Amino acid sequence: MSVKPIFFALDGKSLSEFEFELKILKDHIYGVKVGLELFVSEGPSVVEKLKKQGWQVFLDLKLHDIPNTIKEATRSAANLGADFLTIHIASTSDALIEASNTKGNTLQILGVSSALTSRAMTNSVSEEVNKEFKEAKECGVDGVICPASEISKTKEIFDLIVTPGIRLKNDDKNDQKNVATPNFAINEGAKYIVMGRSIRNNLDYIINDLEL
């Protein structure tokens, strides 16, 4: 069985909301993304529960703080068993270096640019993103959260590219402006993609028909 390079976004207040989908998706997709809403509602134990179920866990907290706080939060995420953790590149190089030095052997740090997928991409924003990604690389960050439009540039800097804002061809864009189909993102060079609503609305297609 081929495991698809997808993180299922658990965007909700309770893990129980996703029980049905998690059972069906197990062994078909790579992992799950725990965002701030679920992490605050359920507490750190949500990571431990998902790890016990055998999931790769992407802890998407987008940390943005002083270096010492980033260091200790990174240590805590590693101790929980998280596999990936997001940190704002704007937290400064000192904070990113602290995270890189503290993460241990199993946690990977993903840098987040100020240009998220909910913003339209302009030439000036694209240049800003590229600059931030280069700075993150110099600080030992493992990879980045990268909009689909920036993958072609970013793969010259990072091998580990995680792309959100993924929709199937006929899906609504909702609040996302910088969107792409799964195949476009993977073919461009994303290592993993993040999908939420499109998975919940198309479970059979994702499991049986989507080829990546």
Q: Is 51 a catalytic residue?
A: no
> Could you give the CA distance from residue 88 to residue 42 in angstroms, rounded to a whole number?
23
Contacts of 102 (CB under 8 A, 6+ apart): 71, 72, 74, 75, 78
CA distance 74 to 68: 10
Contacts of 138 (CB under 8 A, 6+ apart): 93
Q: Please indicate whether residue 65 is annotated as part of the active site.
A: yes
Report whether 74 belongs to an annotated binding site.
no
Active-site residue, 62 included: yes
Closest CA to 207 of 19, 48, 72, 27: 27
Check 4, 23, 27, 65 and give the catalytic one. 65
200 in a labelled binding site: no
Selected catalytic residue, list 13, 23, 62, 171: 62
33 has binding-site annotation: yes
Residue type, 171: D
Considering 13, 26, 52, 60, which one is annotated as catalytic?
A: 60
Answer positive or negative: Cα dihedral of 100, 103, 106, 107.
Answer: negative
- Is 11 annotated as belonging to a binding site? yes
User: 71 a known binding residue?
Assistant: no
Q: Is 122 known to sit in a ligand binding site?
A: no
Q: 197 among the known binding-site residues?
A: yes
Give the annotated binding-site residues. 11, 33, 117, 167, 176, 196-197
Kindly list the catalytic residues: 60, 62, 65
Give the annotated binding-site residues for substrate. 11, 33, 117, 167, 176, 196-197
